[in-house]
Amino acid sequence: MAIRNIREDGDEILKKTAREVDKIDERIQILIDDMIDTMHALNGVGLAAQQVGVLKRIVVIDLYDDKGVLVLINPEIIKEKGTQEVDEGCLSFPNQFAKIIRPKEVEVEALDRNGKKIKVKAKDLLAQAISHEVDHLKGITFVEKIIPGTLQYIEPENK
């Protein structure tokens, strides 16, 4: 398992549409493990494969609760309900945060890392994270959805 480099603002891959995963093989499993390690190393809540330079429809999400990491392969949001105004950032846009409107609830169909079909009903932060990461798979970044006047730059702490 390895920490991969995060593609940042200006990298063309962030604007591209990810391709479906047609076979979950050892390479995909290694990619998933690397994505989880990378997300955890950077204290992220979610990560899409594009963000590590791979155009595959894979996302990982961890709310750091007792449920562990959610792996979604070829996710499709099939239902959205309500809206919520949320504070949001992105590992590909370091130190930038803004307010965004996201669905309050989503229902997503995907494959888990073993290829089993799953359906996840999510609300609040999990719905936000799923929406954010699925947007990445479509080449849409959070900065395209910012509520005008809410973008903030936070200076990183010196380590």
Closest CA to 50 of 113, 117, 141, 143: 141
What's phi and psi for 81, nearest 5 deg?
-145, 130
Task: Report H helices in the chain.
Answer: 26-41, 124-137
CA 68 to chain centre: 15
133 is catalytic: yes
Task: Find the catalytic residue in 12, 80, 107, 133.
Answer: 133
Computed on alpha carbons and rounded to an integer, the radius of gyration of the chain in Å comes to 15
Q: Are 51 and 11 in contact (CB under 8 A)?
A: no
Q: How far, CA to CA in Å, does 139 sit from each of 11, 16, 65, 151?
A: 11, 5, 28, 20
Question: Six-digit token pair at 51?
Answer: 């963000």
Hunting for tokens 């999400």 — which residue is that?
Answer: 61
Catalytically active residues are: 133
